[in-house]
Each structure stands twice: as C-alpha cells, then as structure tokens.
Structure 1
C-alpha cells in the first residue's frame, strides 16, 4: 500500500498556470493524502548487506542473509518459507572475496648490545622481524618478500665487550716422568673492572690452552717408581693388572 498527494497551482480564468503569488489572497484547497495500491505486494527475495571478508589477507568469503518476504498492504513485512519465492532464482548467500593483502616486514626494537661480543669493544644486537599486513595482523613469513627482509642482527659498540682471556699458573704435572699432563685456569675478564664474565663474551678471541702434556720423558728401564699422584687410588681400585697403570705406578703396584 502506498499514498498519494495532489499538488496545487495558481491558474487564471483560462486555466493557464501563473505565479503562485497571484493566488495568495485565496483560501488554499485541502490537500489530504489518500491511499493507493491498497493490496499486498508480490512475494520477493530480500537480502541483507554483505559481511566483511572472512580473511584478513588473501582469499576468503562473505556472507549475507537471504529471506523470502512479502510487503503487506498494511505496511508490515511477512517472512515466508523459501520455497514460496522459487529456489531457482534465489540470490547467493555466500561469495568469495579477496582482501587487499598489503603486507610488509615490520622490525621490532633492537635488543641489548652485549648479548654476544664479536670483537674488541664490539657487541652483537638482535631484533625480531615479523611479517604483518596493514591492519596490524601478524602473518606467516612466506607472505612477505624474503629478499626485502631487514637485518635481524648487527654489530654495535659495547663497553661490556672490552674483554680478554686471563690465564692462571700451570698446576703441577700429573707425572714425574713418562706421559703426564697439567692444567691451568683460564677466565674471560672485563679489562676495566676486572670482573670475571661468562666465556661467551670472549668467544670471538682465541682461548688459550687450559691443559698440556708434560714430562714426556722415559722413566728409564729397571727403575721402579710412581710417576703420577693417583697411584694410591690405582692400587685401591685394583688397576695394577692393567699394563698402563702397572708402569706408571710401579712402586705402588709392586709394594707390599
């Protein structure tokens, strides 16, 4: 159902339209609206607007509501079963969509400089690099061009990396003759404050040896004596049956 209203014009005695100001002294006619087409409208398909694309990037889909409706003469809307509208011409309720995947590499802030030293007074900084689309969503790295990926690490100046290897004295040789070894303490030390640091801060410098062979000389034939400090344990553990320990701990193995 609709309504209609008739318009009024000022006319002369011959029925010709003239300026409305010439009729201002006259009482205007009543122009009440009247109903028209007082009948129910034909049944039709009604659709809602499309939803946003389901994918924030790449290919997704959009949805909308599809209903069979009829506008009644009294202005109300009647929802009918779908088969009343004929399923052959039913509008689509779903369609594919492609979101403009404007993606780019987004670097995070650099980390601390002294996580790892690479040279005298030089450290190494790290940062995370993420692939992100324009609405801020982080996406897999494969969506971004790897050739344009920013560096995730760089050299930096760090006082923490002003370090050196400090060596201690050699400990006594484990054997008086024959084939022994000796060790020493080696620490990574900060040059300015003398503080011992983790070895990782000095890894860029060649580390001095912490052990070496010593007294690589023959003990002489017929001479029976111990050539290592551990012969007491060798005897207790009954290792004298082994030729190696029998030679090094000759005195202990052959003693009472």
Structure 2
C-alpha cells in the first residue's frame, strides 16, 4: 500500500501513454522535477489537462479506470507512480518514444520526427529458473529500431542506457518438486567443551504419488545441497563461573569493602576452584566524610518576653575534624531559634520607653545579659540605644545614675 514508483520517463520523451490493465481502486500518479504533479501527496485530482515537464498531460478517469497521455517532448524527467490500495493484482501498460541524435539530410531537416526511432521493448520471456518448487522468469529487454512502420532488434548501444527499463518478473513452476532435499536433525557436538562440529544427514529423495519417499542420487535434486556440517560449542567446561555486579562500598568515608556473588553455572557443578573470581575486594569512598557540627545554645537574648538563642554551626570532617565545604546545604542545622523567658513587668513596657534616663529610673532591671560586652557598650556610649540598654541594663543604669548625680 502507498506510493510505488513504476518508471522514470526521461526528458525528451514523446507519445507518452499510460493505461491501467483493468479498473481498480488504485490511482495513477505523475510528477516532474519541479514538484508539479497529478494525484501526488494523497491528493486525488479531477480529470482534466495539467502542465508537467513542459508538456500538456491529459488525465482521464471513467469510473475505476484511468488513463494518462501526452504528446511531448518533455523538458524534464517524469516520475510515473501508482497509489496502491487493497487491489490483490494490479497492472499498467505504459509506452513512450525517445529519438536519437542522428545525422540528417537537408531534405529531412524540416521533418518533426527523425527517420529512425530506437526504443527499449520487452521482446520475449526467459525460461523459468527452476523446473519445480516455485521460480521466476524475466522478460528480455531489447533495443528496437522503428523504420517505415517496421521494428527490428538492433545492438543495445543504439538506445540510451539510462532509459533501459527493468525486466518484468513473473512466478513460474510453482508445483512441488518430485525430487527434493531432506535434512535430518543435528547431532551432538563433537566436543563437550570449546569449539567443535556437529553433523546431520542430507539426502536427495524422490516423492512418489502415494506419499512415500525413495532415496536417489544427489544430482537429481536442484539447488544447492544443504550443509551437512556446522560449528558448535561444548558447554560442559570445567571453568564456567558467573559473577554479579559489585555492591556499594561498606564505608562512605574512607576505606571499606565491597562484595559480589560468584556462582558455578556448570550443569554438573564442575567448576575449577582455582579459577574462581574474587567475591570481596577493598574500596574507598569519600562522598560522606563531612558532616554538620553544632555548639551549645547561648542564653536567651531577652530576660523577659520573646528573644533569640544562637549557636555555632560548622562543616567538619568526621575523622580529622578539619573544616570543609562538602556538607549538604539542605541538611544544615539552624543557627538561631526563638526563646521565651516569661512575661515582662506589666506596668512598664521597655519597648515604649524612649528615654534611657527614664528607663534608668523606672525600668525593672534583672541584671546584665551580656556581661562580657556591657563594659564596651558603656564606653562606646551605646546605652542610648534601648536594644543595648535591655541587654546591659545594670551597667547602663549605673552609667546614667552617675551622670545624673554629676549634673546635680
């Protein structure tokens, strides 16, 4: 099914005629080198006249019967195709003429057609390739010269070799042969291990009408004699070990061991233990040597209410303890977490106090939270910021108390 190319009609062809042998559901198709076409690309045209390859092609369709014709000459090759469907048997007849460039007398220069025409024809059929059992016979393709309405076979050099059509092929002598080859079963291999030979019986027999077979001479059977010998390989070898894939390394950081399964596949279990592959070997893997290490949580940043705690998070080697960057980022532990130290003084909310001096007089101080840094905060005069005042309220309160005293 689908498009099948039947023939390429060369440039310069005249008197082109294509006819279906009988009505069918298939379609004739034609296209030139410029992609102009009839019934191509699964598009079926209405009958009419079409311009292809520099000539007018007349397309006729009556029911299921089709015909194409053109006077020519064509300026480019024409591809004749058939869109086949479910037709079990299909045939077409096509013909065209191609003129040869021969020397002409002045008196014949005005003639449109040359004096001699040379065309390829299927002149006869060859004999069948076999006498029975199904063979092929092909047509004899000959070069013919047309002169004065007569045709004669001439040397093939007079016709264009590129225009020579392929021989037509038909099946022949499909009846079963009376003489035929009969083959037996293959015998056992000549060796039990390694490469050897096995043989079978091949005889020529004559088939009687009652169905019985008679052994006869080999020369009566046609075709090549089937081989009585072929190579083989014995499987009962002493060393037939099969090993599975290696397992993963037992350690994901440093040296470890990987294993595999080794089995004897000999049917009798005869495997040489000296040639057995190893089942265990050392391995080394450093893909998971680094892991996250965390320190202790710090005190809450606030003596009352909500605050924060922090800790040190580092990527370190499991064995050496060295710092690295190969820890998985998605598994990094948190550095901060919220904390709560109970409710603050309800009467005085430190977040609403805008003056540190007022805080020194009214804020209930529970002691310094950052004792190490409070002295620096006082020296850098950072007690004015309420955030630092909360963490160093005792040091800052003393600072403002002395300041107020000094002014008075």
State the TM-score, normalized to the length of structure 2.
0.23
Greater fraction strand: 2
- Who wins on radius of gyration, i.e. which is larger? 2
For CA contacts below 8 A with separation 6 or more, give which structure has more relative contact order. Answer: 1
